[in-house]
């Protein structure tokens, strides 16, 4: 396809096939129209690295305060909100959906929860969970890496953080999947009703766990949240909002990163030998994985005024699709952007965790999980390869995330 003349209107980010493998379309946008108004939605897609950084850093012009779900999802958004509010806690904007100065109220607490020292202390536990999961299937010579490892590791770690026992990881997965569907996938009325029920089940579990810590504090995440700002504590609505973001943000993302990391090892078998036991090399590998296959492909912003970006005038109140997955393959920033290269001089200079005040609060935990996982996997498995065809499309349908459907591999135990 000639990138300079191909007709952009023949491709749509709303198509499942394009969402699953968006990189040809991103390359067309880089070549022809780096700030592109999607005709189907009116969203302005920002694809260049430098433009995206401007959007992420200038919170006065590019706001995280978006129209309500009603405006984005119509009457069904309204129905969902009212069903949840009847027997649970209504949505209030917190953390990711706030701008300064409100954002700092939530961020301060979470920066303490995810402080580096606390994450370092978690390492032995992450190693134990990782090795336990590998023990479950290493004797079989084959597994669905996506279902039997990539989903389980972040599921168990985040479920435990919110007070669920490890055995309930499937419950946690159901809650996390539901949050992402509500956020970004079209639904029928029946699906909306069923989603609201799942949200209510999750909210009541969280409320009970938080109340336990209110009277009986311990050294965990929920205690920190419930006892934050003693002079002006977070309300139950705010606590529910923050918890929802930690569940949604901490699970599907790491799962996608782990699955794509394994996929890269299968595509580049020479790396399996080269990286074994090389902590520095594994660190670079993990960063290159999330540059190439950014688990968060996009998120939204709203223009607070008329603004010019990349030569395009974006009118006030337009919605912007901040496209991390495209910026991370911008040829002006990364040489040969579609090549997986752990030796690139600017490895790690990606925007996969964002930039500015909303920079991923869980990045240290995500990096810990990825590094521990690939250290153990490379130690214990050799000759890893695909054990069949990948599904087509490879990913489940989603505009914003990149969730793999399955990844069946075979290997030898070392």
Residues between 318 and 337 that touch ligand HEM (CB under 6 A): 324
Which residues inside 20-59 make contact with ligand HEM, applying CB under 6 A? 56
Given candidates 285, 353, 401, 411, which one binds ligand HEM under the rule CB under 6 A?
Answer: 353
With tokens 């200079």, the residue in question is: 349
Q: Rule CB under 6 A: choose which of 241, 250, 261, 337 binds ligand HEM.
A: 250
Which range in 24-32, 182-190, 253-261, 334-342 contacts ligand HEM by CB under 6 A? Answer: 253-261
Size of interface with ligand HEM, in residues (CB under 6 A): 26
Q: How far is the CB of 88 from ligand HEM (least distance, A)?
A: 20
Among 222, 366, 373, 402, binds ligand HEM (CB under 6 A): 366
Q: Which residue is nearest to ligand HEM (CB)?
A: 362
- If binding is defined by CB under 6 A, does position 253 make contact with ligand HEM? yes
261 binds ligand HEM (CB under 6 A): no
The span from the CA of 273 to the CA of 116, in Å, is: 30
3-state secondary structure of 47: coil
Contact (CB, 8 A) for 55 and 322: yes
13/22 Cα distance (integer angstroms): 7
- DSSP letters for 268-310: -HHHHHHHTT-HHHHHHHHHHHHHHT-SB--EEEEESS-EEET
Contact, 16 vs 397, CB < 8 A?
Answer: yes
Q: Which stretch binds ligand HEM (CB under 6 A): 183-191, 250-258, 312-320, 406-414?
A: 250-258
User: Would you count residue 362 as binding ligand HEM (CB under 6 A)?
Assistant: yes
Instruction: Establish if 84 lies at the interface with ligand HEM (CB under 6 A).
Output: no
Contact range with ligand HEM by CB under 6 A, out of 10-18, 288-296, 383-391, 406-414: 288-296
Q: Which residue from 351, 286, 293, 363 is spatially nearest to 322, judged by alpha carbons?
A: 351
* Distance, CA of 412 to CA of 273 (rounded, Å): 13
CA distance 96 to 63: 10
Rounded least distance, CB 105 to ligand HEM, Å: 11
Residue 246 lies near ligand HEM (rule: CB under 6 A): yes
Helices 236-267 and 279-292, packing angle to 10 deg: 110
Nearer to ligand HEM, 358 or 396 (CB): 358
> What number of other Cβ atoms are within 10 A of residue 177's Cβ?
17
354 lies in the binding site for ligand HEM (CB under 6 A): yes
Query: Is the Cβ of residue 20 or residue 161 nearer to ligand HEM in the bound state?
Result: 161
- The three-state secondary structure class of 38 is coil
At 399, is the secondary structure helix, strand, or coil? coil
Task: List beta partners, residue 309.
Answer: 312
| Nearest to ligand HEM of 56, 206 (CB atom) | 56
Per CB under 6 A, contacts with ligand HEM among 369-408 are none
**CB-based contact 176:251 (threshold 8 Å):** yes
Contact call for residue 282 and ligand HEM (CB under 6 A): no
For residues 27 and 365, what is the distance between their CA atoms, to the nearest angstrom?
Answer: 31
State the nearest-atom distance from the C-beta of 95 to ligand HEM, in Å. 5
Give the residues lining the site for ligand HEM (CB under 6 A): 56, 95-96, 107, 158, 245-246, 249-250, 253-254, 257, 290, 295-296, 299, 324, 352-354, 358, 360-362, 365-366
């Amino acid at each position: 396809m000639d990138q300079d003349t191909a007709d952009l209107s023949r491709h749509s980010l709303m198509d499942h096939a394009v969402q699953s493998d968006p990189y040809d379309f991103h390359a067309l946008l880089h070549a022809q129209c780096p700030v592109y108004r999607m005709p189907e939605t009116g969203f302005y897609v920002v694809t260049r690295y430098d433009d995206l950084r401007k959007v992420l850093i200038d919170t006065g012009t590019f706001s995280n305060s978006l129209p309500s779900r009603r405006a984005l999802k119509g009457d069904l958004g309204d129905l969902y909100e009212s069903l949840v509010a009847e027997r649970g806690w209504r949505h209030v904007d917190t953390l990711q959906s706030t701008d300064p100065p409100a954002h700092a109220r939530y961020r301060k607490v979470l920066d303490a929860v995810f402080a580096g020292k606390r994450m370092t202390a978690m390492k032995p536990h992450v190693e134990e969970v990782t090795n336990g999961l590998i023990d479950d299937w290493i004797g079989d010579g084959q597994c669905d890496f996506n279902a039997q490892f990539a989903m389980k590791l972040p599921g168990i770690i985040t479920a435990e953080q919110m007070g669920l026992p490890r055995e309930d990881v499937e419950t946690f997965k159901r809650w996390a999947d539901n949050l992402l569907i509500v956020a970004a996938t079209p639904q029928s009325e029946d699906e909306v009703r069923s989603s609201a029920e799942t949200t209510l089940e999750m909210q009541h579990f969280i409320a009970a766990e938080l109340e336990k810590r209110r009277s009986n504090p311990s050294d965990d995440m929920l205690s920190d949240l419930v006892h934050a700002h003693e002079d002006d504590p977070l309300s139950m609505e705010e606590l529910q909002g923050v918890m929802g973001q930690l569940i949604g943000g901490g699970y599907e993302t790491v799962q996608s990163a782990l699955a794509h990391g394994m996929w890269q090892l299968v595509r580049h078998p020479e790396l399996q030998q080269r990286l074994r036991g090389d902590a520095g090399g594994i660190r670079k590998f993990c960063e290159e994985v999330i540059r190439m296959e950014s688990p968060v492909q996009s998120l939204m912003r709203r223009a607070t005024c008329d603004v010019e970006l990349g030569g395009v005038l974006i009118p006030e109140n337009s919605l912007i699709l901040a496209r991390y997955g495209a910026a991370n393959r911008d040829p002006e920033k990364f040489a040969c952007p579609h090549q997986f290269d752990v030796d690139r001089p600017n490895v790690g200079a990606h925007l996969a965790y964002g930039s500015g005040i909303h920079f991923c609060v869980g990045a240290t935990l995500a990096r810990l999980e990825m590094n521990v996982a690939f250290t153990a996997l490379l130690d214990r498995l050799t000759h890893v390869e695909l054990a069949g065809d990948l599904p087509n499309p490879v990913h489940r349908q989603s505009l914003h995330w990149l969730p793999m459907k399955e990844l069946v591999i075979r290997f030898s135990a070392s």
